[in-house]
Structure 1
């Protein structure tokens, strides 16, 4: 059998096993439920607020935005953290020592992070639709839009998370990049219409996939008339596809290069040195 196919199959199996393990791990279950339940509570208390210039509930407008923004945040941060932690504990080095092990490892991470992110999205959306009026999938076109936005959004964000994860050898240094990511989510129109922000901030938000994921999920789950509060008073499906596809292509080109260089630098001595530093911090 082709070694590449073997690596791909091993990666898919590994990702599936890690997803199942996350469903019985207390910390992972907390990560699934706590952030999403927090968002639901916030949106419940926002139910009487309205989108500026309309009578539509701001809470209903926020739910699909949080779905898209949460998907982007989860893909970026979970992938980044997984690579950083498993680089430090030697998992990456062990994968490197197996024929096509890096391929299997990366495929496994993609399957795992995608699955965990989608599970979190389901936990948010199902009770959210029941609690918030005005959010629904209106026909096959809306289902298709939601599908391609979510899939393309994951493909756009996962390689970026992998690139960011390769930059840090120490998981404790990841906090350096967390604040900019949270700031990006806040300025991407996820919690409040981006048209209320200064123009320069709107341009920054539109440069990254978080905004386009939020816009795409809103276009699938909200009434057509809500496009009036968006930039250009349109859902801009063509631009959404183009920006997410552009980020996906860029990430898929750059990420393998960065990850190969990171893997070449990994050795038993470097892993041992990181473990020794970690033990010194604990002591």
Structure 2
């Protein structure tokens, strides 16, 4: 039953809003602690990009790209794959991790129990979003540290590059988290969640040039990747971390940050609408 205060529901009144924020912040702490207690989940969503960066940087010394002018440009493999693994980490922390978590919580009765508590659904969702932010940021710090210390990748020193990194990370994380919660409706049970969601995430990464040099993908796949958010996240990360001279290797020979913002913004709205339409404490058969 909704309690009203004046013309606004209690949850939208100043007191209700303050209470929701307090519950949401507490939920963030709970979600983060729970995440790091599950070692298998930590490995596959936190350490997996770090492991992949180490493999690619060790197996490949340099990567050769056509420069669009009849010549080629060599880039150290670690330098090329670091932005890609950062984008992969955002996707794993948001889409894969939250997609599986929420699907399992719906099946094992966690959401049903929460429905009987004073916790508003928005506080639960903010808790999941906060988990994606905290774990994604920690993962990014580890990736950048491994890249710089172990593989001698030169990191940018100007504030503009780190500002680009920040807004791409924030926008990508919010988008991935919303899409993950929405995707949690697809598995019919918690047991099938990993079997349904992980292959989707892997295919999206391969199709977006995360594991394979983007210029080596078939042209139709490159075009299709333009519709996927992770391809734009990877482009934004390359724009933030690679020298400006490497922009000539991209489509249109530009970083196209306006396109990154637009594409991720569209996917954020899609995810927000999908969550609004599909999220329920209890699944409707």
**Normalising to structure 1: TM-score of the pair?**
0.85
- Which of 9, 16, 19 is equivalent to 2:32? 19
Q: 1:4 & 1:258 partners in 2: Cα distance?
A: 23
**Normalising to structure 2: TM-score of the pair?**
0.85
- Which of 66, 74, 90 is equivalent to 2:109? 90
Which residue in 2 is equivalent to 1:196? 216
Q: 2:90 & 2:142 partners in 1: Cα distance?
A: 12
Contact kept in structure 2, 1:50 and 1:56, CA below 8 Å: yes
- Superposed counterparts of 1:26-45, under 5 Å: 26-31=39-44, 34-45=47-58
Q: 1:179 & 1:105 partners in 2: Cα distance?
A: 26
Q: 2:128 & 2:46 partners in 1: Cα distance?
A: 21
**Comparing 19-28 and 98-107, the one that deviates more:** 19-28
CA offset at residue 92 of structure 1?
A: 0.6
Which residue in 2 is equivalent to 1:249? 269
- Superposed counterparts of 1:251-270, under 5 Å: 251-259=271-279, 262-263=280-281, 265=283
- Superposed counterparts of 1:107-126, under 5 Å: 107-126=126-145
SS of equivalent residue, structure 1 residue 166: coil
**Residues paired across the two proteins, number:** 265
Q: 2:163 & 2:81 partners in 1: Cα distance?
A: 21
Aligned: 1:178 with 2:208: no
- Which of 164, 179, 183 is equivalent to 1:164? 183
Which residue in 1 is equivalent to 2:10? none
- Change over 3 Å in CA distance of 1:251–1:56 after alignment to 2: same
CA offset at residue 35 of structure 1?
A: 1.5
Aligned: 1:213 with 2:233: yes
Q: 2:34 & 2:282 partners in 1: Cα distance?
A: 30
The RMSD of aligned alpha carbons is 2.1
CA offset at residue 190 of structure 1?
A: 1.6
Contact kept in structure 2, 1:159 and 1:251, CA below 8 Å: yes
Specify which structure has the higher proportion of helix.
1
Aligned: 1:239 with 2:245: no
Q: 1:88 & 1:192 partners in 2: Cα distance?
A: 36
SS of equivalent residue, structure 2 residue 75: coil
Contact kept in structure 2, 1:87 and 1:169, CA below 8 Å: no
- Change over 3 Å in CA distance of 1:21–1:86 after alignment to 2: closer
Contact kept in structure 2, 1:162 and 1:255, CA below 8 Å: yes
CA offset at residue 152 of structure 1?
A: 0.5
- Change over 3 Å in CA distance of 1:43–1:30 after alignment to 2: same
- Change over 3 Å in CA distance of 1:167–1:47 after alignment to 2: closer
CA offset at residue 134 of structure 1?
A: 4.2
CA offset at residue 31 of structure 1?
A: 4.3
SS of equivalent residue, structure 1 residue 50: strand
CA offset at residue 21 of structure 1?
A: 4.4
CA offset at residue 91 of structure 1?
A: 1.3
- Change over 3 Å in CA distance of 1:100–1:32 after alignment to 2: closer
Contact kept in structure 2, 1:143 and 1:220, CA below 8 Å: yes
Which residue in 2 is equivalent to 1:76? 95
- Change over 3 Å in CA distance of 1:56–1:76 after alignment to 2: same
Question: Which blocks of at least 5 consecutive residues in structure 2 are unaligned?
Answer: 1-13, 66-71
